[in-house]
Amino acid sequence: RMLSGYKPKNDVRDSYKILELEEGCSLDDVRNSYRNLAKKYHPDSSSGMADSRAFIRVEEAYRVVLNDLAAKQKLDPGEEEEDQFKSKSLQHRHYLSFEGVGIGTPSQREKQYMQFRVDRATEQVLEYRQQRLESLYAGSDLSRAKEVRQSKKVKITQAVERLVEDLIQESMAKGDFDNLSGKGKPLQKFSDSPHIDPMTHNLNRILIDNGYQPEWILLQKEIRETIERLRKSIVASRRKLGEPMTLSEQKQWGRICEQFAEDIGKLNKRVDNFNLVVPILSRQMVHFSTDKEILRARKTYEAVMEKVSDSDTKENEGEEGK
């Protein structure tokens, strides 16, 4: 911007001297010298000799020398410079716009790109209409098939209901319902709770009569049975060991406690699953503690051993009395 409207004032000979060239040099020499001096004096370069005034003199001299060479070769310096740099530009930059469509000048490529967009939009409209028609026809076929299936289902249901009603009426005419227990008596209430509708009560009663139990009740029962089994097994394992325990028995007892801790961890996972499905918050369960269970097993073992010792002393006293 600073140099766009700047007019050079240097003489041709002085310009050659500033560029450190001699008259009659080639255009490549001029460009190479200008690049080297620009790198040396440009204010934005990291060179220690950067100087804006010197760079302006170099720029002015470069323009004068280019005009002089162009006058000698009877060429336009702007066209010469454009032709020289056009071959050095990256080839793929011609295709960075217009989505790579078209060839020729930018204006020609723009016209070709506009026509390409029109053709693409037309194809998209045709595809959209085709898909819409296909979906409509497919939806109509599916709806017809659903209506046919539903009508058949309704007909079958009505036929079964009529058959059942005919059988009931036939049985009533024969007098099969005369000997039923509770005939002529009022129906019992469905439930003691007024908040439960008769349908829910009947469904629950049918499920209970057929042995159905909810998942959370089965999980609760399984957890209780498992903890009782684990408690009995650890007490039985402790009774098998001596009193006091030897070194090998202590190691065996440690392994028993480790296995017991693993079983308690698995049981606590079942407790988590139970708490997720139980419908009543007050019915939720807490985790079992391994340390508390082992301490409980020791107390149980001590109580059992005390009972055994008391029974032995009583038997001994009875034998002595006899």
pLDDT tens for the chain, residues 1 to 322: 444 444 555 578 888 888 888 888 888 888 888 888 888 888 777 677 778 888 888 888 888 888 888 888 764 444 445 455 444 444 444 445 677 777 778 788 888 888 888 888 888 888 888 888 888 777 666 777 778 788 888 888 888 888 888 888 888 888 887 777 777 776 665 556 667 777 777 887 787 777 778 888 889 999 999 999 999 999 888 888 877 788 888 889 899 999 999 999 999 999 999 999 888 888 899 999 999 998 998 888 888 888 877 776 666 666 666 6
Identify the CA nearest to 54 among candidates 41, 44, 63: 41
**pLDDT score of 3:** 44
What pLDDT shows up at residue 315? Answer: 67
Count CA atoms within 13 Å of residue 196 on its CB side: 13
Closest CA to 244 of 199, 305, 296: 305
Do residues 226 and 233 make contact, with C-beta atoms less than 8 angstroms apart?
A: no
Model pLDDT, residue 146:
77
Q: How buried is 297 (Cβ within 10 angstroms: 0-12 exposed, 13-18 middle, 19+ buried)?
A: buried
Q: What CATH number belongs to 12-74?
A: 1.10.287.110
Domains of the chain, by residue range, sit at 12-74, 101-138, 139-178, 215-312
Say what the pTM is. 0.36
Backbone φ and ψ for 279, nearest 5 degrees, come out as: -80, -15
DSSP state string for 44-100 = TS--TT--HHHHHHHHHHHHHHHHHHHHHHT--HHHHHHHHHHTTS-GGGGGSSGGG
Q: What pLDDT score does 187 carry?
A: 60
Cβ-contact 76, 70 below 8 angstroms: yes
Q: What pLDDT, on a 0 to 100 scale, did the predictor assign at position 225?
A: 94
Q: Please tell me the predicted confidence (pLDDT) of residue 183.
A: 73
